[in-house]
Amino acid sequence: MQPAAIDMTHLKAGFQAPVLDAQSSFRAILNALSFPGRVFDIPAPPEAPEGWPPALAAAALTLLDADTTVYLDASARSPSAEAFIRFHAGAPIVDASGDAHFAILLNPENADFDTFRIGEDQYPDRSATLLCAMADFTSGTPMRLTGPGIKTVQDIAPAGVGAAFWMAWARNQALYPLGYDVVFAAGSAVVGLPRTVAADPVKE
């Protein structure tokens, strides 16, 4: 089946130096998942689809290609987003979140987290990676993270996720070594939340 032609009128530019930008963008994401909760700058492309933080566009350009399926939540899915993903990454867009290697969520608080892939006993790596848009990393619910990659504790307050997300996260964390992994994107920075990390509300 040939998908319909890409709508070029809505197309936003990709990385300016694709090889080098993808590399530094990847290192930012690698660092983010290695040091959960810490904020890392990511080289953002000059343009991003409507409503996407530039960091989210950078992560998508870095990780997606024809070998990865991607799910977009209702807020993320726009003609410019579809054109962006299909033209720059060639990634098949799927309608069911359970079919996706990657999910792009502009409205993560309303996502049905229990539908994402968590991997299999023998292949826990066959799990989804969620790229979630945030307003910032400081004005949301303050959470205290512990786990691999964190020397003692790491506090974070991503604006864009609240109780529903953190409850889903507790369920996800309990599945370890299965589970999905999350990258938060705000402005031109990313924060990683691998399945290993426990999050508890910061007590005043």
Partner 1 sequence: MSTLQPAGSGAQFHSIDGVYNFAYLDEQTKRMIRRALLKAVAIPGYQVPFGGREMPVAYGWGTGGMQVTASILGVDDVLKVIDQGADDTTNAVSIRRFFNRTAGVPVTEATTEATVIQTRHRIPEKTLREDQVIVYQVPMPEPLRKLEPRETETRKMHAFAEYGLMQVKLYEDISRHGEITTTYDYPVEVNARYMMAPSPIPKFDNPKMHAMPALQLFGAGREKRIYAIPPYTKVRSLDFNDYPFEPQQFEDPCALCDAKGVFLDEVILDDKGDHMFVCSDSDHCRDRRAEGHMGPRAREAAEKGYGADE
Q: Interface residues with partner 1 (CB under 8 A)?
A: 8, 11, 13-14, 16-20, 22-24, 26-27, 29-31, 33-35, 46, 62-63, 65-68, 87-90, 121-125, 127, 129, 148-151, 176-177, 181, 194-196
Kindly tell me which of 160 and 194 has the beta carbon lying closer to partner 1: 194
Kindly tell me which of 63 and 76 has the beta carbon lying closer to partner 1: 63
Residue with tokens 């290993």: 196
Kindly tell me which of 12 and 133 has the beta carbon lying closer to partner 1: 12
CB of 190 to partner 1, least distance (A): 12
Query: Rounded to whole angstroms, what are the CA distances from 36 to 5, 23, 113, 118?
Result: 39, 20, 20, 19
CB of 156 to partner 1, least distance (A): 16
CA separation for the pair 78, 50 (Å, rounded): 7
CA separation for the pair 15, 17 (Å, rounded): 6
CB of 174 to partner 1, least distance (A): 13
Query: Rounded to whole angstroms, what are the CA distances from 114 to 63, 74, 134, 166?
Result: 23, 17, 20, 13
Kindly tell me which of 30 and 135 has the beta carbon lying closer to partner 1: 30
CB of 121 to partner 1, least distance (A): 4
Cβ atoms of 145 and 173 within 8 Å: the answer is no
